[in-house]
Structure 1
Amino acid sequence: MIGEILTAFRRGDVVPYLGPGVTGLAGDAAPPSRPEALVAELVAGATVPHKIRNNLTAAAQYIENFKHRKTLTCLMAKAFGQSCEPTPLHQWLAAQPQTRLIVQAWYDDLLIKAFEGQSDWGVVQGVTQSEHFGDWVNWIRPDGSVAPARAFLRDGSGAKAPAEAPEETFAWRRLIYQPLGSVWPASNFIVSDSDYVEVLTEIDIQTPIPDTVHSIRKGRSFLFLGCRFTNQLERSFARQIMKRSSDAHWAVIEGELTRNEEKFLREQNITRIDANLAEFAASLAQSDLAAVAA
């Protein structure tokens, strides 16, 4: 299937969707690359009731409620703030000029580091209502500065509706979409129960997802890397972000699937590739080099 995927990459028909497992490819120096590892770091820095110590969103909500949002943000920033170099997979993806959109559904900055030195890209990043009330995303330039959105529209109630993308972003040839936020550049994280409730309340009607993402995803196939779909949050975000795209996708998932994962893959017409992620990434890059040499 490598050849089929590479051909789609060269046509610009692939949207890579990177989950926590991609971060783990960086090895021992990597930030937390599983929700279980991340919640362990959070509860090591703040007292959390035993019954929710293994639940990332609930533990984050407890810290936000009883220790303040700033404490949660600081703990998240610490977890993802260590120095770590991008992996060969990040670098390979950053070197694919035909790829218009990459979705990164985790909090590290490894993909951003892989894009350093290029100038024709930008980031659209999910932000929390608790810290950016009325805004769903920030548009971020390669230097980390925020591009101001155009004038807000307002609905009949007077509430803010999604702002239009800044005009300067129309010149970006490549877009990184971080629906959960990121440590870069300003530690914006969607991680607590209330963060997710606010997004999920609107995501069925696509409000939190930028129009630019809607446009680029049309007719394209998603390649899920480092993702599992064992819980409803993971499935909901993937389902809504890939809505109205192509009718054929791939997911690299090694080992046994849960019943919910099997059902999700079947419903979304995602072809499962049962392979080790590191080996798949290496094969992808090697096949690409061989094709170029030929």
Structure 2
Amino acid sequence: MSHTTVHTLPAAVVEGLRAGTLAPYLGSGLLTLCEGVTPPADPPALAGVLTTKVSVPGKIRNRLTAAAQFIENFKHRKTLVKAMGEAYALSAAPSPLHCWLAALPSPLVVDTWYDDTTRQALAGRTDWAEVQGLSQSEHFGTWVGWYDAQGQSCPDPVEATTVLYKPWGGRAPAGNYLISDSDFVEVLTEIDIQTPIPALVQQRRAALGFVFLGCRFNDQLPRAFARQILKRSAGPHYAVLPDEPTRMEARFLDEMGITRLALPLDEVARQWTGALPVAA
């Protein structure tokens, strides 16, 4: 299986998103579309924020999950959660693309960053729910938490029109974070057999392809999660990736059969939100 690179925006992508047969899969890069001051928008930036709050050895200062593990080990989990909450207390105003995506009838939206921008964009609707990954250090034996559109915790899965799935957690509504090495080791130990992935997400993906927006695959963690979330999904899959892929990214795109859309994210956003015509 190999990937294809295209330099125009296929109409089939926007049509699939509008029809609810393609699901948005969002990464931290989406924050670059937001105006004004934004919270940390990539792992190095977040590592920088955390390590200004707690002193961390220089050799791991730029390695986000290792730095978070050091803080958890030597300053307690509560210190790490508090630092994450402070890092994302500043909410970015949703961009036009966030708002456009939030208005779609998507059965599933995957959001792999800690900010609450997508949740804000969905706030005008009542027919959505959120499911977040939970840290085993805080919720041992429980892999996910469900929340309704008002942010109230729900004991059972919510059969909403749109389900927002945040596999790494997020600041709102409850400050759940997968962030340290141990958080991810616990999940990755089980993810091959799909245990940490909500059953409702597994059911819905069976009829869906995914469109990656603001994502990079140049690290093992985003590749591992994307690989398992896409497992047994219908396809096709697309990734807006303007920069030339690294060797590992290219291998991942090949493995998953993802079509690379070699266009800047802001240009794609302008086309989809109505400023430019969509290519045929």
Question: Could you tell me which residue of structure 1 aligns to residue 150 of structure 2?
Answer: 143
Shift of 1:33: 0.7
Q: Does 1:259 align with 2:247?
A: yes
> Is 1:45 equivalent to 2:23 in the alignment?
no
The residue type paired with residue 239 of structure 1 is R
The question of whether the paired residues in 2 share the 8 Å contact of 1:126 and 1:179 is answered with yes
Which deviations, in whole Å up to 9, do the C-alpha atoms of 1:19-42 show, x marking residues without a partner? 010122114411111100000000
**CA–CA distance in structure 2, aligned partners of residues 285 and 111 of structure 1:** 16
Q: Which residue of 2 aligns with 1:203?
A: 191
1:86 to 76, 81, 94: 94
User: How many pairs align?
Assistant: 270
Distance (whole Å) between structure 2 residues aligned to residue 135 and residue 247 of structure 1: 29
Residues 58 and 232 of structure 1, relative CA distance in 2, 3 Å threshold: same
C-alpha contact (below 8 Å) 2:132/2:144 kept by paired residues: yes
- Distance in 2, matches of 1:132 and 1:145, equals 17
Please list every run of 5 or more consecutive structure 2 residues that lacks an aligned counterpart in the other structure: 1-8
Contact 2:144 2:196 in 1 (8 A): yes
The 1:174–1:55 alpha-carbon spacing in structure 2 relative to 1, beyond 3 Å, is same
Structure 1: distance between partners of 2:92 and 2:251:
36
Q: Which amino acid letter does the alignment assign opposite residue 280 of structure 1?
A: V
Q: What's the offset of the Cα at 1:214? A: 0.6
Structure 2: distance between partners of 1:27 and 1:57: 28
Aligned-pair CA distance for 1:290? 6.3
Runs of 4+ in 1 over 6 A off after TM superposition: none
Higher relative contact order (CA 8 A, sep 6+): 2
Residues 134-213 of structure 1: pairs in structure 2 closer than 5 A: 134-149=141-156, 165=157, 169-170=158-159, 172-213=160-201
Partner of 1:161: none
Distance change >3 Å, CA 144–CA 254, structure 1 → 2: same
Return the offset for 1:283: 0.9
Q: Which amino acid aligns with 2:117?
A: L
Match of 2:110 in 1: 103
**Which residue of structure 2 aligns with residue 125 of structure 1?**
132
SS in 2 for 1:222: strand
Q: What is the identity, as a one-letter code, of the residue corresponding to 1:173? A: T
1:217, 1:245 within 8 Å by CA — same for their partners in 2? Answer: yes
Distance in 2 of aligned mates of 1:3 and 1:242? 22
1:117, distance to aligned residue in structure 2 (A): 2.3
The structure 1 residue matched to 2:123, chosen from 101, 116, 120, is 116
- Gaps in structure 1 of 5+ consecutive residues: 150-164
CA–CA distance in structure 1, aligned partners of residues 212 and 265 of structure 2:
11
1:228-271 CA distances to partner (integer Å, 9 max, x unpaired)?
Answer: 00111110000000111124210001122110000100110000
Shift in Å, 1:83 = 3.3
| 1:197-248 deviation digits (Å, cap 9, x = unpaired) | 0000000000000110011111311100010001111100000001111242
Deviations, residues 89-141 of structure 1 (Å, cap 9, x unaligned): 110011112x1100000000000101112111100111101111110000001
In 1, the alpha carbon distance for the partners of 2:277 and 2:60 equals 49
Alignment-mate amino acid for residue 96 of structure 2: P
Please tell me whether the aligned partners of residues 133 and 168 of structure 2 are also in contact (alpha carbons under 8 angstroms).
yes
Give the secondary-structure state (helix, strand or coil) at the position aligned to 1:29.
coil
Which residue of the other structure, out of 266, 271, 282, is the alignment partner of 2:270?
282
Indicate if the aligned counterparts of 1:19 and 1:226 stay in contact, CA closer than 8 A: yes
C-alpha RMSD over aligned residues: 1.4
**Separation in structure 2 between the aligned mates of residue 24 and residue 70 of structure 1, nearest angstrom:** 29
The alpha carbon displacement at 1:281 in A equals 1.1
Pair 1:230 & 2:218 matched: yes
Code of the residue aligned with 1:35 in structure 2: it is P
Separation in 2, partners of 1:183, 1:72: 12
**What is the SS of the residue equivalent to 1:175?**
strand
Asked if the contact 2:35/2:93 (under 8 Å) is kept, the reply is no
C-alpha distance in structure 1 between counterparts of 2:245 and 2:125, whole Å: 38
Q: Residues of 2 paired with 1:247 and 1:125: CA distance?
A: 23
How many Å separate the matches in 1 of 2:67 and 2:13?
39
Q: Which residue of structure 1 aligns with residue 68 of structure 2? A: 60
Q: Distance in 2 between matches of 1:12 and 1:144?
A: 24
* Cα separation, 2, equivalents of 1:182 and 1:130: 16
TM-score calculated relative to the size of structure 1: 0.89
